[in-house]
Structure formats: structure tokens, C-alpha cells
Amino acid sequence: MRIRASRSVSLLAGVAVSAAGLAASSGCGSQKAAESGTDALADRARQVAAAWDGSPAAAEWRAGYHPVGEVVQLPRGGLQGQADKQAYEDQNFILRGELPDPGPKDSQVTWPGGNPLTRPLVGADESYKTLASTHNNKKPHLTVTGAKRGEMTLVTSRGPATVPAWLFTLHGYASPLKQAAVIPSKPPRPPIRPARGIPGYPLNRLVQIAADGRSVTVVALHGACDGGSAVDVLETHGSVVLSASTKDHKDSGNCTKQAKMQQVTVKLDRPVGDRVLLDARTGQPVPYKGLRGLSASGS
């Protein structure tokens, strides 16, 4: 295993953690405990890879529809101005038009050269509700004037896929905002249980897989009394296991019960391809959430 964290970005976000979690976390433990935890994490990564490689769970994951890219695509050229960007971040939308009927219950996700997959569809009204959690016309907002059925291309665990989508017309924009209308497949039951007794935190989220597949960007957590996050990677023929740890452990009586978020990009020896991207601690695929709701404070 080798650390291949090519860059990291601190994020303006704090996550409260339990006292037990902090006691086990890297920020406030002893150096000896940290080294022991690193060895245990390396062993754990090998166990996770061995459990997943060639397993029914891995086959089920590869056969499913699991987005690892944005299911919402902004109008061509992006949003206009800071007010619209803030409205999108706040999910503040106003509906000024009619939304179409739900339409068919199912449709197909297609991959170039691969077998299509039939999945349930989300109606326009339900799709709109996931975009718009607030409706305050006294604050910066985006106005939806209508929607129609269409399709979009997004990145999945099986590569780029074409999926049915709702195309929402926004006031003041020539092209629509697109949102995938397909319900993702349920993740398979992991063939290994979560780890216990290993200091540190699970990975918070997958942010991005590079276009060439040779790097992945994740959000990791670390404590208030350490030097930040590091991510080790164990690559096998069937999986990419990521193990988050912390750097420069410091003993201090001033540690707060808070975990900090840090964006870390990890380089790989070869493209991810259809290998399963796994978290060593949970033994599960790293959940994709993107960076919506988090803002970078520096690099």
C-alpha cells in the first residue's frame, strides 16, 4: 500500500463526533497508537479486497446502475452570477408553470457496448422536489417554467451511461437544467462487516473520478489536533480499497469534539475501470455525493 494523495483541500465544514469516536481518532491519540492503527488499517484493506474480489456482491455491483458523477447538470455555460449560484446551493426554486405527468414507470439505462438495464423512473414532480427544498421568492432563487422528458449522459460505476432525464426550463436560460430520472440500483450487501477498534474515520464521500480514471477525489475526515488526512490505496484486479488516516498526531488537552473535512485526490497505478471503489473501514463502496454543500477554503 502506498499513499498517493497528490493534493488536498480543507473544506469549510465541521462534523460533530462522539466522545468515543474522538478518543479513537487520530487527532488526540498517542503516536504509538496511531502507528498500531495504521498497521491494522493496512491489514483491514487486504481483508476487504479479498472479501470483495470475485464475490457475488462485486458481480451485483457491476451489473447495477450506480452513478459516480453528477445526476444534475446545469444549463450550458453554467449559472449566471453569484445570486443564481447561491440559489442552487440553497436549493431555492420557484415553480411558475406546469409539470408534465409522470409518464412510464420504467425505462432503460444504456452503456456503449454493454447490456441495457431497466430501472424505475421518477416523475417530474418528484424530481423537482429533490431539486427544490425551499421556495422563498424573497431570497435569490431560480424559477422553473416547465419541464419535458429527455436524456443525459453521466458517469457510473460501469462507465458513461445514457439515462432518461427531466429537462427543466429555467427563466433566463436558453438551455435546460437536467436531472437524471432513473432510480439507482440498491447497493449489494457487503461480503465483510465494518471494522471495529481501528482509530480514525470512514471516508465521507466520493467527489470525482478523473476522466482518465487514474485518480479519485474523496472527502476524508480528521481531528482538530492533527496535521490533516492521508489516504492509502490498495489496488487489486477487482477492487480499489481506500484507507483514510491522519498525519502528524499531536497530544493536546485542547482538542475539540469536532471532525474536519478535507478533500484528497489519490493517484492510481491504472484506471479504475469497472473495479469496485471501497472504503477499508466500512467494507462498502464509497458513496458518491459530489461537493454540493461544501465550499473550499484553501488549497
pTM for this structure? 0.81
Residue 241: predicted pLDDT:
98
Grid coordinates given for 29: 491519540
Residue 296: predicted pLDDT:
43
> Which amino acid appears at position 249 of this protein?
H
Residue 140: predicted pLDDT:
94
Residue 252: predicted pLDDT:
55
Residue 189: predicted pLDDT:
96
Residue 119: predicted pLDDT:
97
Domain ranges of the chain: 2-62+193-279, 67-180
- What residue ranges of the chain have pLDDT lower than 70? 1-37, 226-227, 248-257, 292-299
Residue 113: predicted pLDDT:
84
**C-alpha dihedral, 118 to 120 to 124 to 127, nearest 10°:** -110
Which residues are registered as beta bridge partners of 109? 117
Residue 221: predicted pLDDT:
86
